Amino acid sequence: MDYIFSNFEPFAVIVSGSIVRGNPDASSDFDILVLHEHAWRRRVQKWFEGVPAEIFINSTAWVEGYLTQEAAEGRPIFAHMLATGVVVFSSSPKTEQIIGMARATLETGASFSEAALEQQRYAVACLFEDAVDVAGRDDVTAALILGRAVDATVKYWFATRQRFSVRSKEQLLAICAEDPEAGRLIEQTLLAPSMELRVSAAQELAQSVLGHTGFFEWDSGPSDADAR
Question: How many CB atoms are located within 10 Å of the residue 105 CB?
Answer: 22
Residue 42, SS3 per DSSP: strand
Residue 171, SS3 per DSSP: helix
pLDDT for position 223: 67
Residues 6+ apart with CB under 8 A from 223: none
How far apart CA 167 and CA 215 sit, in angstroms, is: 30
Assign 213 a pLDDT band (cuts: 50, 70, 90). Answer: confident
Q: Which helix (H) or strand (E) holds 102?
A: helix 94-108
201 phi, psi to nearest 5 deg? -65, -40
> Tens of pLDDT along 4-23?
999 999 999 999 987 777 77
Distances (CA, A) of 166 to 12, 77, 106: 26, 9, 12
Domain 2-108 has CATH 3.30.460.10: yes
pLDDT for position 102: 94
Q: Radius of gyration of the chain from Cα atoms?
A: 21
Query: Do residues 35 and 82 lie in contact, with contact meaning Cβ atoms separated by under 8 Å?
Result: no
Which of 40, 70, 80 shows the shortest CA–CA distance to 57? 40
pLDDT for position 226: 56
User: In this structure, are strands 42-48 and 86-90 parallel, antiparallel, or unpaired?
Assistant: unpaired
Assign 224 a pLDDT band (cuts: 50, 70, 90). Answer: low
Which of 100, 95, 30, 85 shows the shortest CA–CA distance to 60? 95
Assign 34 a pLDDT band (cuts: 50, 70, 90). Answer: very high
- Asked whether the predicted pLDDT for residue 150 surpasses 80, the reply is yes
pTM above threshold 0.85: no
List the domain boundaries for the chain. Answer: 2-108, 114-209
How far apart CA 63 and CA 212 sit, in angstroms, is: 37
First to last CA, the chain: 41
